[in-house]
Structure 1
């Protein structure tokens, strides 16, 4: 999935937060190791649940997401169904 723009998703550096104004790029601290990457990691996390609902922006290539998750589920021996 590739974006059709060269615009940054968020600025690389941001001024300190001013809580009295709206922040178009809100940020929150995270512990190390909390964020994972890739469909395989997502499939492992999802596999801990019995039912999962994934919702998102219409511009997401949902066929790619479904196919990649299905493949990742198969690799860890899980059956899946998508609506």
Structure 2
């Protein structure tokens, strides 16, 4: 959409943040069942919902990492470290 990611995250409803939190937990723990996920949240191992600031910081970190990796790959290609197959 035309909105900035920060505006989109600030206006994200609580239910969407909860769904996003569950998806993040599932990505970190593949194969986790619903019952185990609920127990982990209940025991305080994970929050019910990540705060908007934490989501923004995580997104910023991931984008920064992706940009650095891309620049490293391009630099290796230019310097000849990567050779054509």
TM-score scaled by structure 2? 0.24
Q: TM-score, normalised by structure 1?
A: 0.24
Indicate the structure (1 or 2) with the bigger Cα radius of gyration: 2
